[in-house]
Amino acid sequence: MNLRKENILIVDDDIDILELLQRHLQAMDYHTYKAVSVKEALFILKDTFIDLIITDIQMPEIDGLQLLKFANEHYPEIPKLVVTGYPSIEATLEVIKSGATDYLTKPFTKAELKEAIEKALTQNTFRKKTKSTPTTSDKYPYSDMVGESEAFKKVTNIIERVKDNKATVIVTGESGTGKELVARAIHYSGKFSREPFIAVNCAAIPENLQEAELFGYMKGAFTGATENRNGFFQAAKGGTLFLDEIGTASLAVQTKLLRALQEKEITRVGSQKIEKVDIRIIAATNANLRNEIKNNTFREDLFYRLTVVEINVPPLRERKSDIAILTEKFLRKYGIEFKDRLLRISPEALKVLERYNWPGNIRELENIIQRAVIMADGSIEVKDLPDFLKYQIEFSDNGLRPLIDIEKEYIQRVLAHTKGNKTRAAEILGIDRKTLREKLK
């Protein structure tokens, strides 16, 4: 074997693809490691010096995006290459955001593969060279999370207290305030950071599949269960399971979850056998669970179990002193991504940002900075910001407007934020769908 050649980890649930890739790579003299699941890949990453990860996106149990996120946090210097059979714009965006260097669509030719690998590997040496420039993350221990306000410090104080133990935590707060980031900060700043962090969005799993996805199942447990399968609980073993939008968990899942929290044990669907679980659970919600208890859609006993430690992430409008530092962070991020350099913002433009109310919180700020970076010629000026931010100034300076106008404008903004999803919009607005529909008329 040629020692100069790099170690490449290939991850795909399709054995045929794995073997095809391996044949190609060996022909190019690379040393290969194969994994048929993300879990297997994690084990290899722990024990092996890997120079490049090539992964599929769509895989059962844990998908490739989770692997990319994990690898970006633990092994940021390893380049990643994504191969997938399902190209879609949305998936591509997610991949780019997750830091994958390139994207290859199946079927691909050997030459395309070779080119993509060489490109990814040279990017690696580039990264190593530029790594020593100080970034905001040196100043802030919680990877990507920045803030200096009192309200933000309250959040980091609790993170400090929970990061090294396995106490259950619930993270609450409006949409876009950074709940998922808080969960990641707890995991990655604590002493279990080398163990898996698995994020599951309960709202994204159909109710009838939730139990099987979370707790695993036995062959024959239901139609379609053709083999024994691990769930997210088994996958997160030793680490953290992040249950996002916990308010949408089915009642069957809630019952099992309560048992997992109280007795530290679970059973797979279709099995009587008790399995001990050793994981930390972090749940998150932007819904008011107390209302859901009243409606009998959320178990009260589970609520009390989950809320022993609650981290309430404050909305951006209550920590406006963080706007400048967040803006600086996003300018750095998108400046480098889109313009290859650091951009500045004029004091006037920053003032506009600081006056605005931020119903979509940090996510909205991030989107606006991203857009401004793309629109701006040099530094970010007031003209590079969307009009509705500026109207807000006009409004506060010189005029009173009828409530209905403001309501209309606000509903449209929330709808834009949820990309037209009315259920989500109604949730944010705190009204039911029917009322929203009437208002839209």
Ligand X SMILES: Nc1ncnc2c1ncn2[C@@H]1O[C@H](COP(=O)(O)OP(=O)(O)OP(=O)(O)O)[C@@H](O)[C@H]1O
The residue among 127 and 363 lying less far from ligand X, judged by its C-beta, is 363
Q: Which does 196 bind (CB under 5 to 8 A by kind): ligand X, Mg ion, none?
A: none
* Structural element, H or E, at residue 234: helix 232-235
* Least distance CB 313 / Mg ion (angstroms): 10
Query: Does the protein bind Mg ion through residue 14 (CB under 5 A)?
Result: no
Asked if 409 is part of the footprint of Mg ion (rule: CB under 5 A), the reply reads no
Site string for Mg ion, 169-188 (x = CB under 5 A): -----------x--------
115 or 180: whose CB is closer to ligand X? 180
Contact code string over 346-375 relative to ligand X, x by CB under 6 A: ----------------xx--x---------
Q: Quick one: DSSP state of residue 338?
A: I
3-class secondary structure, 346:
coil
The pair of three-digit structure tokens given for residue 173, joined into one six-digit string: 């707060």
Q: Does 286 bind ligand X (CB under 6 A)?
A: yes
Q: Which residues of 231-241 are buried (b: 16+ CB within 10 A; e: fewer)?
A: bbbbbbbebbb
Q: Torsions phi, psi of 198, nearest 5?
A: -115, 120
> Based on CB atoms, which residue is closest to Mg ion, 37 or 175?
175
Q: Does residue 416 bind ligand X (CB under 6 A)? A: no
SS3 of the chain: helix, strand, coil, percent, to 5: 50, 15, 35
Decide: is 200 part of the binding site for ligand X (CB under 6 A). Answer: no
Q: What is the DSSP string of 108-173?
A: --HHHHHHHHHHHHHHHHHHHHHTTS--HHHH-SSTT----SHHHHHHHHHHHHHTTS---EEEE-
> In the complex with Mg ion, which residue's Cβ is closer, 262 or 421?
421
Q: Decide: is 179 part of the binding site for ligand X (CB under 6 A).
A: yes
Q: Which is nearer to Mg ion, 245 or 292 (CB)?
A: 245
Neighbours of 267 (CB within 10 A): 16
Residue 326 sits in the site that holds ligand X (CB under 6 A): yes
Residue 292 binds: one of ligand X, Mg ion, none (C-beta under 5 to 8 A by kind): none
> Segment contacting ligand X (CB under 6 A): 39-47, 143-151, 292-300, 394-402?
143-151
Please state at what angle helix 323-334 crosses helix 361-375, rounded to 10 degrees: 50
> What residue 181 binds from ligand X, Mg ion, none (CB within 5 to 8 A, per partner kind)?
ligand X
Residue 419: CB minimum distance to ligand X, A: 12
Three-state secondary-structure class, residue 35: strand
Cβ–Cβ contacts within 10 Å for residue 44, how many?
A: 16
* Contact flag: residue 175 with ligand X (CB under 6 A): yes
Whichever of 249 and 372 has its CB closer to Mg ion, that residue is 249
Our CB check for ligand X shows the closer of 70 and 217 to be 70
Binding of residue 319 to ligand X (CB under 6 A): no
Is the Cβ–Cβ distance between 409 and 419 less than 8 Å? Answer: no
Distance CA 232, CA 54 (A): 22
The answer to whether the Cα torsion of 286, 288, 289, 292 is positive or negative is negative
Binding site for Mg ion (CB under 5 A): 180
Binding site for ligand X (CB under 6 A): 144-147, 173, 175-181, 286, 326, 329, 362-363, 366
